[in-house]
Amino acid sequence: MEKVVAVAVGATRPAICSPSLAEVDFRTSVKMSGFFNVSRLRSLQPIKALEESATASVVQESAAISGNNLCQNSTVAKSTNILWHKNSVDKRDRQQLLQQKGCVIWITGLSGSGKSTLACALSQALHWRGKLTYILDGDNCRHGLNRDLSFKAEDRVENIRRIGEVAKLFADAGVICIACLISPYRKDRDACRSMLPEGDFIEVFMDVPLQVCEARDPKGLYKLAREGKVKGFTGIDDPYEPPLNCEIVLKQMGDDCPSPADMVETVVSYLDENGFLRA
């Protein structure tokens, strides 16, 4: 006669939500030591997050078994059946850790207007103040992330979109992201602005006349464009659309060119006044 063994559904699943003996001893010792202040409570949050994550996993698995799908997959562009996963550590936690607010400083202007110079000087000044930054330089990104893109109009749109998406991730990480690239089309810059919460996109316009930029010509590209050896060069045979409502304008008046230190001070003052240099 065969022996029939009844197994309850889920009986073989480990009790992953139950705390281990080590966790119980730790909590008990903390309570007895009287260290339940705000900082100590915050140190226990990872344990609580793990418990909540484990509970959520059990619920989701149970829903899958029962056929009740609690989350709905979505379609974004060409990506189908994707699901946004919410993390237990969010932007506010990261900002609190870094003691700053994540944002994107988008420096735009003609080639030779001083975008990279400002970006590097600004990053250094903020570094000295103990703030974490990262520069997304247009040329640098074309060495890797965007090396498959040309300078045709449609590729320029994709170039800006990709950098905007990466900048958004840096800002979400609590980092002050400095993007410096020509980004000639207004609608593309506005599209990047729309990716972030209101106020977190800071557009800095390097308002330097074309003739000044061409006189500088640090890469020799204006000369090549005038000779017809470079096509679609912004300012020569491709338009640049200046911002209409940017946060900061750094304008050169005649031969009076503001120094990098003066420009940095303008941007840092804006960040300080708007609370980006504290959590």
* Tens digits of residue pLDDT in 207-222: 999 999 999 999 999 9
pLDDT (tens digit per residue) in 129-172: 999 999 999 999 999 999 999 988 899 999 999 999 999 999 99
Q: 230 pLDDT exceeds 50?
A: yes
Q: Could you tell me if residue 192 is inside a domain?
A: yes
- For residue 44, which phi and psi values (nearest 5 degrees)? -85, -10
pLDDT (0 to 100) of residue 76: 83
Q: 66 pLDDT exceeds 60?
A: no
Measured distance CA(105)–CA(178) in Å, rounded: 5
Name beta bridge partners: 107: 180, 204
Amino acid at 83: L
Q: Could you tell me if residue 169 is inside a domain?
A: yes
Q: Could you tell me if residue 34 is inside a domain?
A: no
Q: Could you tell me if residue 267 is inside a domain?
A: yes
CB 172 within 8 A of CB 93: no
pTM strictly above 0.85: no
Measured distance CA(244)–CA(238) in Å, rounded: 19
pLDDT tier for residue 55 given thresholds of 50, 70 and 90: very low
pLDDT mean over 246-257: 89
Sign of CA dihedral 30, 88, 126, 139: positive
Measured distance CA(154)–CA(103) in Å, rounded: 27
- Residue-number span of the structural domain to which 109 is assigned: 91-274
CB 279 within 8 A of CB 93: no
Q: Could you tell me if residue 121 is inside a domain?
A: yes
Q: 79 pLDDT exceeds 80?
A: yes
pLDDT mean over 96-110: 98
Catalytic residue among 183, 194, 259, 269: 183
**Could you identify the residue written with the tokens 């793990």?**
50
- For residue 106, which phi and psi values (nearest 5 degrees)? -105, 105
pLDDT mean over 167-178: 98
Q: Could you tell me if residue 43 is inside a domain?
A: no
CB atoms within 10 A of CB 214: 18
For the chain, what percent of residues have pLDDT higher than 90? Answer: 65
Containing 251, the helix (H) or strand (E) segment is strand 248-251
pLDDT (0 to 100) of residue 59: 43
pLDDT (0 to 100) of residue 198: 97
pLDDT (0 to 100) of residue 72: 73
Q: How many residues does the chain have?
A: 279
pLDDT mean over 103-126: 98
Name the token pair of 28: 């008990």
pLDDT (0 to 100) of residue 71: 59
Measured distance CA(245)–CA(232) in Å, rounded: 26
Task: Tell me if residue 62 is catalytic.
Answer: no
Measured distance CA(263)–CA(274) in Å, rounded: 17
Q: 84 pLDDT exceeds 60?
A: yes
Measured distance CA(193)–CA(244) in Å, rounded: 13
Give the chain's mean pLDDT. 82
Q: Could you tell me if residue 77 is inside a domain?
A: no
Which one is predicted more confidently, 92 or 74? Answer: 92
Which one is predicted more confidently, 271 or 253? Answer: 271
pLDDT mean over 110-121: 97
Q: What angle do CA 207, 208, 211 make, to 5 degrees?
A: 150
Q: 42 pLDDT exceeds 70?
A: no
Domain count, the chain: 1
| 3-state SS string for 184-223 | CCHHHHHHHHHCCCCCCEEEEEEECCHHHHHHHCCCCHHH
pLDDT (0 to 100) of residue 52: 53
Q: Could you tell me if residue 184 is inside a domain?
A: yes
pLDDT (0 to 100) of residue 28: 45
- Looking up residue 144, the CATH number of its domain turns out to be 3.40.50.300
**79-82/74-76 β-pairing:** antiparallel
pLDDT (0 to 100) of residue 121: 98
pLDDT mean over 257-268: 95
